[in-house]
Amino acid sequence: MNQMNPEGYVTADGRKIGPVLMEMKNISLRFGGVKAITDISFDIREGEIRAIIGPNGAGKSSMLNVISGFYVPQDGEVWFRGYKRGPMKPYQVARLGIARTFQNIALFDGMSVLDNIMTGRLTLMKSGLFSQAMWWGKAEKEETEHREKVEKIIDFLEIQPIRKTPVGRLPYGLKKRVELARALAAEPKLLLLDEPMAGMNVEEKEDMCRFILDVNDEFGTTIALIEHDMGVVMDLSDRVVVMDYGKKIGDGTPDEVRSNPDVINAYLGVSHD
């Protein structure tokens, strides 16, 4: 189990981790005078579950926004699948195969669960405006094909009974699950989860953990997640990046991170004597 091996390695529980999928090199992000992120580098390998943790205001969400193209960093490079990524609009990033969920749910409230998840496949649907307008041949066939894929995800996340319900009527936990379904529908190479368990009760958290592990296991999706629940993070993730005040203070397996004195200081405070 050599984690430095560029070709990849096999984890203790038998999952294959591939080569580097995404690499952040010396990322710095400023808002005016506020330094949100200072000179952070880390990589995400194919097939792994990578967590980004840190106290409030550490710059975790900013980091995720850099990855998903919302923020363009002032310094640094983002490499994805072996290519350097120039400044891009978020919808272009989505087409590269990066999907995400949001900390405070960003679903389309006026649409049904099914339609919400179908929107996740927009980047994969190719039929043109006129074919759509006529609903002949390609448009209808495509709709059915993608519907089949979406139904698989619906089965997978166990949300069959609500597929025709408008999202606005659903409880919080289910909304989170639908949002995950929408992100999954895009068949992403890299899935970003911004606090997938925020505000959930224990049972919902367990469900969500199970889904995250299953997604990684079954679809082989690489996952980068931000989470505050340490127990969850340490159990789920293969490697963890720890941020504090916009800087990286730790990076490694959960065990390495747990014993890192800087991390302990950031979370528990340090005695000044």
Partner 1 sequence: MFYREAGDFKTSYADDSQTFPIRFDRLRYYAVMAVAFGVIPFFINDYWANAVFVPFLIYAIAALGLNILTGYCGQVSLGTGGFMAVGAYAVYKLMTAFPDVSILIHVLLAGGITAMVGVLFGLPSLRIKGFYLAVATLAAQFFLVWLFNKVPWFYNYSASGQISAPERTILGQAVTGANTTAPAKYLFCLIILVALAWLARNLTRGTVGRKWMAIRDMDIAAEIIGVNPLTTKLSAFAISSFYIGVAGALFFAVYLGAAEVGEAFGIQKSFLILFMIIIGGLGSIFGSFAGAAFMVLMPVLLKNLLVGQLGWATDLAAHLELMIVGALIVIFLIAEPHGMAQLWRLAKEKLRLWPFPH
90 lines the binding site for partner 1 (CB under 8 A): yes
Q: How far is the CB of 81 from partner 1 (least distance, A)?
A: 17
Q: Is 131 helix (H, G, I), strand (E, B) or coil?
A: helix
Beta strands at 49-53 and 239-244: parallel, antiparallel or unpaired: parallel
139 lines the binding site for partner 1 (CB under 8 A): yes
Q: How far is the CB of 132 from partner 1 (least distance, A)?
A: 5
One of 16, 57, 84, 135 touching partner 1 (CB under 8 A): 135
One of 49, 51, 107, 266 touching partner 1 (CB under 8 A): 107
Q: Tokens 């997978």 correspond to what residue?
A: 156
Closer residue to partner 1 (CB): 110 or 220: 110
One of 33, 144, 202, 218 touching partner 1 (CB under 8 A): 144
Please give the Cα distance from 104 to 158 (Å, whole number): 22
Q: Tokens 């430095």 correspond to what residue?
A: 4
Which of 196, 218, 191 minimizes the C-alpha distance to 208? Answer: 196
One of 5, 16, 74, 91 touching partner 1 (CB under 8 A): 91
Which of the stretches 1-9, 39-47, 91-99, 212-220 binds partner 1 when contact is defined by CB under 8 A? 91-99
Burial class from Cβ neighbours inside 10 Å (0-12, 13-18, 19+) for residue 66 reads buried
147 lines the binding site for partner 1 (CB under 8 A): yes
Q: How far is the CB of 196 from partner 1 (least distance, A)?
A: 15
One of 75, 106, 169, 210 touching partner 1 (CB under 8 A): 106
Q: Is 230 helix (H, G, I), strand (E, B) or coil?
A: helix
Sign of CA dihedral 254, 101, 90, 83: positive
Contact between 50 and 239 under an 8 Å Cβ cutoff? The reply is: yes
Q: How far is the CB of 110 from partner 1 (least distance, A)?
A: 5
| Longest distance between any two alpha carbons in the chain, whole Å | 76
166 to 205: interface string for partner 1, x by CB under 8 A? ----------------xx--x-------------------
